[in-house]
Structure 1
Amino acid sequence: MKRDYYIHESSYIGENVTVGEKTKIWQFCNIMDGVSIGKNCNIGQNVFMEQGVKIGNNTTIKNNIALYTGVVCEDDVFLGPNSVFTNVVNPRSFISRKKEYRPTLVKKGASIGANATVVCGSTIGSYAMVGAGSVITKDVPDYALVYGNPARLKGYVCQCGKKLTKSNEYYVCSECGKKYRICKENKIKLIEV
């Protein structure tokens, strides 16, 4: 039976791993039992995925990233090189805290820059942009641009990734022309034009 995905010969793939069609897994990756990877993903060199990690379709995971139990990435997510994910808030090598794992959700279309750290229990909103080297300690709203240590809201970005400009009651993308507004729940919503 012909495989419809690519796995480099130096990578280890555990049991009951799902790999979607057209996905590429490059050198020296360790994908543990029970991981699910969607279609058309690009998994860079030296990526580790612990049991139960879920990766959606069209996701790019650059080199040298460890994704621990509890991490879920929806479709169209980008993880920059050397980004870090945790799953325990107060780890000790001599105390087992597996029952205290906290989930981390990276929602559709979100991008996380190189060398960013995401503390477990956080949700990165849809199409949010996390700047390189940032430390995420709390939830990030949809379309938010955050950076710093700890990361703070610095504006909003379009689905295309460009920073939005405030114009009256709207936020407008100078690149593609889409308009957004802030709704009552203080979340950015796409305006249909």
Structure 2
Amino acid sequence: MIHNLSDVQSSNIGYNTNIWQFCVVLAKAVIGENCNVCSHCLIENDVIIGDNVTIKSGVQIWDGITIEDNVFIGPNVTFTNDKTPRSKIYPEKFLKTIIRNNASIGANATILPGVIVGEFAMIGAGSVVTKSVEPHTTVIGNPAREVKI
């Protein structure tokens, strides 16, 4: 289901995926099956989203970001793709960020460019992830650091 108040330019949307109102999905984006993209999200062109992914409201997924299967992205998570952003000055290529299978990212977390979040990793709400996160690890804080739970 694609809500009639969204702007979905991509034809690469999997079966049983819901895209709610006020979303923009650019033409080259790929979104898998059985995903839920909540309202007020933006998904750029060089983006791959796997199957069974939940993206809560207020998330922008920029060029260079890959989200694998069964991932949860909480509300207002912020992804970045340029370590030295300047107005009207773009890198030749954006850094790649990968969120691996079954990872979860809590509300309002910030993910810096070039980071890999490992399988089954958990990013606590409000954390700032400045470096890659190992599989099956929970990180919290600013900068995000591993905690045992």
TM bin (shorter chain): over 0.9
- Asked whether the 8 Å contact 1:88–1:100 carries over to 2, the reply is no
- Asked whether the 8 Å contact 1:111–1:127 carries over to 2, the reply is yes
Instruction: Report runs of 4+ in structure 1 exceeding 2 Å deviation.
Output: none
Q: CA RMSD in A?
A: 0.9
Please give the residue correspondences for 1:65-76 in structure 2 after superposition, counting only pairs within 5 Å. Answer: 65-76=59-70
Q: Say which of 23, 41, 44 aligns to 1:50.
A: 44
- Asked whether the 8 Å contact 1:13–1:32 carries over to 2, the reply is yes
TM-score by length of 1: 0.75
TM-score by length of 2: 0.97
Letter in structure 2 aligned against 1:7: I
Q: Once the two structures are superposed, what CA deviation does each residue of 1:24-60 show, in whole Å capped at 9, x if it has no partner? A: 0001000001111001000000110011211000000
Return the alpha-carbon distance in structure 1 between the equivalents of residues 61 and 115 of structure 2.
14
Return the alpha-carbon distance in structure 1 between the equivalents of residues 32 and 77 of structure 2.
20
Provide structure 2 residue ranges, at least 5 long, that are not aligned to the other structure. none
1:65 deviation in Å? Answer: 0.3
1:129 deviation in Å? Answer: 0.2
Residue 146 of structure 1 corresponds to which residue in structure 2?
A: 139
Question: Structure 1 residue 35 and structure 2 residue 37: aligned?
Answer: no
- Asked whether the 8 Å contact 1:13–1:31 carries over to 2, the reply is yes
RCO comparison, higher one (Cα < 8 Å, 6+): 2
Provide structure 1 residue ranges, at least 5 long, that are not aligned to the other structure. 1-5, 156-162, 164-193
Please say which structure displays the higher CA radius of gyration: 1
1:13 deviation in Å? Answer: 1.1
The alignment covers a number of residue pairs equal to 149
Q: Say which of 86, 90, 105 aligns to 1:92.
A: 86
Return the alpha-carbon distance in structure 2 between the equivalents of residues 9 and 35 of structure 1.
19
Residue 7 of structure 1 corresponds to which residue in structure 2?
A: 2
1:96 deviation in Å? Answer: 2.4
Residue 26 of structure 1 corresponds to which residue in structure 2?
A: 20
Identity level (%):
44
Letter in structure 1 aligned against 2:13: V
Residue 71 of structure 2 corresponds to which residue in structure 1?
A: 77
1:100 deviation in Å? Answer: 3.9
1:104 deviation in Å? Answer: 0.4
